[in-house]
Amino acid sequence: MNEEQKTQYLKELNETSERVREHIRQEQANKSPEVAQSSEFKRVPMPKMNVPPPMLEKNATAGSSSTLEMWDENVNQRLNEIDNKMNKSDLSVFFTKGEMEF
């Protein structure tokens, strides 16, 4: 593509983009404000719950299958396993040697 073809291509591209912009401006100007604001819209009340949701532990409607105690026990168990694998050695020794393998 030579310079003249590039110039012609860019000119046509610019004209096309200007036509698109002009069309969009005209479409937005032709829109009536009634289209954006429908006067027929009415709020509908939410239906009443005939059956309340099932209650879980301590009258809560949301819950979890684990507790903080279970999580804490799991963490302590993992920490004990790490201590046993390291023979309760000082962590700084392992980090300086780069021997942290589990």
Residues 29-55: pLDDT tens digits?
Answer: 887 665 555 667 788 888 887 776 666
Cβ(82)–Cβ(102) below 8 Å: yes
Phi and psi at residue 54, to the nearest 5°: -65, 140
Buried (b) or exposed (e) across 17-54, using 16+ Cβ within 10 A?
Answer: eeeeeeeeeeeeeeeeeeeeeeeeeeeeeeeeeeeeee
First CA to last CA across the chain, in angstroms?
Answer: 63
At residue 62, the pLDDT reads 61
At residue 82, the pLDDT reads 80
The more confident residue out of 36 and 95 is: 95
**Interatomic CA distance for residues 86 and 89, integer angstroms:** 6
